[in-house]
Structure 1
């Protein structure tokens, strides 16, 4: 079992939360508490980088839904970045793919709309439904 690793990096009106490991029943509280603390700090746009997620189940998906709801309640834009195939597949299977804005994660692309110029590691937002 992989422990969940969470880090955040603040830059110019947005914050990137990097998630690595397994998103499941055991790690759901960690993700929820960490992201709520970030959102409570009013960072502007929050980008959750899921590139390091190795496993996700229904509880992990439920955690992402709860984070999205919390962000919306606090008027904080929320984007998912670098979602690996395991996450994309679960979003599609549950018809939640249109509920989240998922952006690509790259080394030197332009920021998504609404993010400052300093967001050089993400590219233009493309909803999953458009893929």
Structure 2
């Protein structure tokens, strides 16, 4: 019996995507960390396989983000730039914005205080 699963914190990250034309919005809510980052990574990887030139990641609902989460975002940004596109972070909460500032990633990512644009 694998008892290590009992020690994994019960944190949730919900990820939804919407795309129209070459634009996509990824909305994440919850905590973005070692345990939940693969969910966001899978959503971004799926979009990067398609014809997308702009991804906006809506972080308004993300309460916490650790280095694993930042690495997922950095990796996706690198891949979309290689394809000639862009990745933006929208409406990060103060705690996430602070991580971006402390790590210097606020100068690497395009970060907007506005909510992600709605796609019809």
| TM-score calculated relative to the size of structure 2 | 0.81
| Equivalent runs, 1:85-104 vs 2, <5 Å | 85-104=94-113
2:107 alignment partner, SS class: coil
CA contact (8 A) 1:4 1:21 kept: yes
| Equivalent runs, 1:1-131 vs 2, <5 Å | 1-106=10-115, 119=117
Taking the aligned partners of 2:87 and 2:12, their CA distance within structure 1 comes to 24
The residue number in structure 2 matching 1:126 is none
Runs (5+) with no aligned partner, structure 2: 1-9
Which of the two has greater strand per residue? 2
RCO higher in structure (CA 8 A, sep ≥6): 2
Runs (5+) with no aligned partner, structure 1: 108-118, 122-131
2:17 alignment partner, SS class: strand
Q: How many pairs were matched up?
A: 110
Taking the aligned partners of 1:106 and 1:63, their CA distance within structure 2 comes to 20
CA contact (8 A) 1:39 1:76 kept: no
- Over aligned residues, Cα RMSD in angstroms? 1.9
